[in-house]
Amino acid sequence: EAGVVQSPRYKIIEKKQPVAFWCNPISGHNTLYWYLQNLGQGPELLIRYENEEAVDDSQLPKDRFSAERLKGVDSTLKIQPAELGDSAVYLCASSLVATGELFFGEGSRLTVL
């Protein structure tokens, strides 16, 4: 069974440019999460979806970040415009049920110059 797939693995952009990350969760997992992780730190939740509904986006900086999960499967996370402080790893995870075991992708490492 395929795991959570994320792309791109690495992205280097200049500040003020837009960037988008894509996530394909494990088949059948209704809950999808986007986390931000800084080096050596724990993941911080950005947004959680139940099917296509964003049920927790309280930590998403909505002035520059947006996310969508059309049809309740794949999801994209967008940053526009990117700032230097957005440099981090963006992790996507999915689970069968909320608070159950999370299965993470390998992450997308963003560097903003």
Partner 1 sequence: TQLLEQSPQFLSIQEGENLTVYCNSSSVFSSLQWYRQEPGEGPVLLVTVVTGGEVKKLKRLTFQFGDARKDSSLHITAAQPGDTGLYLCAASNTGKLIFGQGTTLQVKP
Residues that bind partner 1 (CB under 8 A): 4, 33, 35, 40-45, 48, 56, 91, 93, 98-99, 101-102, 104-107
Nearer to partner 1 (CB atom), residue 3 or residue 61: 3
Nearer to partner 1 (CB atom), residue 44 or residue 68: 44
* 49-65 burial: b if 16+ Cβ within 10 Å, else e: beeeebeebeebeeeeb
Give, in order, the Cα–Cα distances in Å from 113 to each of 3, 36, 39, 87.
Answer: 31, 18, 17, 9
User: Least CB distance from residue 80 to partner 1, whole Å?
Assistant: 25
Other beta carbons within 10 angstroms of residue 2's beta carbon come to 8
Nearer to partner 1 (CB atom), residue 22 or residue 104: 104
User: Least CB distance from residue 48 to partner 1, whole Å?
Assistant: 7
